[in-house]
Amino acid sequence: MPNHPDLTVRKIAGALGAELLGPDLAAGLTDDIVIHIRRALLENLVVFFRDQSLTPAQFQAFASCFGTPVEYPFVKGIDGFPEIIQVAKLEHETMNFGGIWHSDTVYLDRPPMGSLLQAQELPPYGGDTLFANQYLAYETLSEGMKGTLDGLVAVNSSAKADVTRTREDRRTDSGRDDAKTGYVSEHPVIRTHPETGRKALYVNIAHTVRFTTMTEEESAPILQYLHAHQVKPEFTCRFAWKPGSIAFWDNRCTLHNPVNDYHGFHRIMHRITLAGDTPR
């Protein structure tokens, strides 16, 4: 497919990540440019837009070009938009929302295919987000480790202690009345991407508890190795937010981690997740 004349793709790192320059998202997108943005997402795993000023309705309309927005199970959406949640850290808080390497809501039976994050209010410094390529994480494993992991299924839980603490403040001030105490899922450790056909490592330190055929104690050494391996610097990119920035990442083959380095300041973002399929 030839490049689109109104879209320039500028890679920001060797492993993943690209800025998409040109489109005015508030003005709406043609079918043709939607196709090109999706292609850029599949090729780069996470794409970024700069200098965009979107109302909640425009943000949701943009997200809906690529999938169906779904509600987050623990936190209410903003007024009038139940699928848009506020991701916030306030001046007095020390934990940030989701401040650990993870893939969004892997503890659900059908985790989202992608997530979009829009900057609302930013600290004077810090608050960058890191992303990690899980295709590379899988492809760089030894053949022996690939063989060990092939066919294994992981148990994922929303109740792991570290990630629970990162959402505690938001559950207190905007928690959903119908939220369950916890969610548990079972997904393959090696996931095949439904669109690209590539294999990706599909565990994360925030949610993965153990392998179905092993105890937590038996699983721990392998998971500890995988968690360190999957976020090696050469698999990552780092995005510095500015007013008007939007990030859109493929939740099926990336991890992300918001850096918690701006104590005493607040950071307010809006997030939408898009419905996904059952990992296979």
Would you please indicate which residues are annotated as catalytic (active-site) residues?
102, 104, 256, 271
**In this structure, what token pair is assigned to residue 202?**
């599909």
Helix (H, G, I), strand (E, B) or coil at 92: coil
Position 137, amino acid: A
Q: Are 102 and 165 in contact (CB under 8 A)?
A: no
Instruction: Please check whether residue 23 is in contact with residue 33, taking contact to mean a CB–CB distance below 8 angstroms.
Output: yes
- Find the DSSP H helices in 126-243: 134-139, 143-149, 161-174, 216-229
CB-based burial, 182-201: b 16+ in 10 Å, e otherwise: ebebebbbbbebeeeeebbb
45: left (phi over 0), alpha (psi -120 to 50) or beta: left
> Dihedral angle at the C-alpha atoms of 63, 60, 266, 11, nearest 10 degrees?
20
CA neighbours closer than 13 Å in the CB half-sphere of residue 74: 24
Question: Is 44 in a helix, a strand, or coil?
Answer: helix
What does the DSSP 8-state code read for residue 159? T
Can you read off the two tokens belonging to residue 125? 């410094």
Residue with the two structure tokens 């306030």: 90
Cβ–Cβ under 8 Å, residues 70 and 84 = no
Q: Tokens at residue 106, please?
A: 């892997």
